Structure 1
Amino acid sequence: MHETVVCVVGNVATAPVYRELAAGPSLRFRLAATARYWDREKSAWTDGHTNFFTVWANRQLAVNAMASVEVGQPLVVQGRLKVRTDGREGQQQWASADIDATAIGHDLSRGTAAFRRAGKPEPPAGAARPEPDWATPVPPDTGEDTPVQQVSEPATVT
C-alpha cells in the first residue's frame, strides 16, 4: 500500500540472469545510474556519483526483457524500490537497493529501438479440448399436428 515507486534512467551494468522458477520466469540485472552536472569551473559536463540497482523482473516482463536487454544499453526502469541492509559477524554492514520492475524500456533519447509485440503462448498440444455439440436436436416426425418437445441431455466436455 505505501510503496516507494521510482523511475531510474541508467545503463545495464551486468548480463541479465534468467531463471524459470515455480512461480514463473524471473530475471535480474544490475543498472548503473550516474548523475551528470555542468561544472562551471571546467565548462564541461562532469560525472557525479554512480548508484547501482539490482533490477528484478517477473513473468512476461522477464521473458521480454531477456530477449531485449544487453549490457551497456541505456534503459528506463520503473518499479517498487526496496532498500535492504545486512551485515555479518566481523564484516562491514552493506546496503542493497533493489527495484521490483513493473516497466522496462530503452532510453530513446540516446538511441532508437524497434518494438515487436510478443506472441501469445500456444496451448500445449495435449491440452486440446473437443468442441461441445451445441446443435439443437430436430424432433422426430410423429405424424401428428402437435409438436413434440424433445429434451436432450447436455453434452459433456472432458
Structure 2
Amino acid sequence: MNETVVCVVGNVATQPVYREPASGPSVRFRLAVTSRYWDREKSAWTDGHTNFFTVWANRQLAVNVVASVEVGQPVVVQGRLKVRTEVRDGQQQWASADIDAMTIGHDLTRGTAAFVRAAKPEAQPAVTRPEPNWETPRPADAPAAEGQEKSQQAQEPAMVT
C-alpha cells in the first residue's frame, strides 16, 4: 500500500487533547512548521510561511505524548500524511493536513531531554504446564511404557544394506 510518510520538525501549537475511547487511547495536537531561509538583502535568517498540521497519536504513543509534550516545545514527528478537504455546493470550504504519527520526539538541536522508559503494560499470565514428577525415577531395567516403545521404534532409521 502506498502511503506518504513525512518527517516534520516544528513547535507544538496547542495543548495535546487526550481521549480514551473503546478502541484505545488517542491524542491530538496542532504542530506549527515554519520554514526559514537566508535573506541576502538583509543578511539575516527570515521566517517563511507557517504550515499547521494536526498530529494524531494512538495507543502507547498517545499516553507518552500526553505525559511528555507541552505547548511551545520543539518536536520531530514522523508519520503518514493525510490531506482532507470538505466540499459543499461545488466549492472547496476547507482543507486539513493531518499526520497519523508513528514516532514523536523532542528536537534535541534546540534543547535537552531526560528519557524515562515507560512501564510495560501488564502481560497476561502464561499458561503453566504441570511439572514432571522427578521423585520416582524409573529403574533402568524396567520396561518402557507400551506407547513409548512404539514411538521410539518409529523414530529409529531403517538400515539400508
User: Smaller-chain TM-score range?
Assistant: 0.7 to 0.9
Tell me which residue corresponds to 1:82. Answer: 82
The CA RMSD over aligned residues, in Å, is 2.7
> How far is 1:88 from its partner?
3.8
- TM-score normalized with structure 2 length: 0.78
Tell me which residue corresponds to 1:46. Answer: 46
Q: Which has the higher helix share?
A: 2
Match of 2:130, as an amino acid? D
Tell me which residue corresponds to 2:111. Answer: 111
- Superposed CA deviations along residues 102-131 of structure 1, whole A, max 9, x for unmatched, are 1101001100111111111235xxx76784
Match of 2:122, as an amino acid? E
Match of 1:84, as an amino acid? R
Residues 4 and 92 of structure 1: CA distance in aligned 2, closer, same or farther (over 3 Å): closer
Q: Is contact 1:13-1:29 (8 Å) kept?
A: yes
Partner SS, residue 49 of structure 1: strand
Identity %: 72
Q: Is contact 1:139-1:149 (8 Å) kept?
A: no
Q: Which runs of 5+ in 1 are unaligned?
A: 151-158
Q: Which entry has the higher C-alpha Rg, 1 or 2?
A: 2
Partner SS, residue 60 of structure 1: helix
C-alpha distance in 1, partners of 2:37/2:59?
A: 37
> How far is 1:60 from its partner?
1.0
- State yes or no: 1:66 paired with 2:61: no
Tell me which residue corresponds to 1:13. Answer: 13
Tell me which residue corresponds to 2:158. Answer: none
Q: Is contact 1:19-1:26 (8 Å) kept?
A: yes
Q: 1:135-150 alignment to 2 at 5 Å? A: 135-136=132-133, 138=135, 147=142
Residues 34 and 140 of structure 1: CA distance in aligned 2, closer, same or farther (over 3 Å): closer
- TM-score normalized with structure 1 length: 0.80
Residues 115 and 135 of structure 1: CA distance in aligned 2, closer, same or farther (over 3 Å): same
Q: Which runs of 5+ in 2 are unaligned?
A: 146-161
> How far is 1:133 from its partner?
2.6
Match of 1:28, as an amino acid? R
Residues 63 and 137 of structure 1: CA distance in aligned 2, closer, same or farther (over 3 Å): same
Q: Is contact 2:83-2:97 (8 Å) kept?
A: yes
Match of 2:121, as an amino acid? P
C-alpha distance in 2, partners of 1:69/1:101?
A: 14
Match of 1:147, as an amino acid? A
Partner SS, residue 87 of structure 1: strand
> How far is 1:39 from its partner?
1.1
Residues 146 and 114 of structure 1: CA distance in aligned 2, closer, same or farther (over 3 Å): same
Tell me which residue corresponds to 1:133. Answer: 130
> How far is 1:66 from its partner?
1.1
Partner SS, residue 47 of structure 1: strand
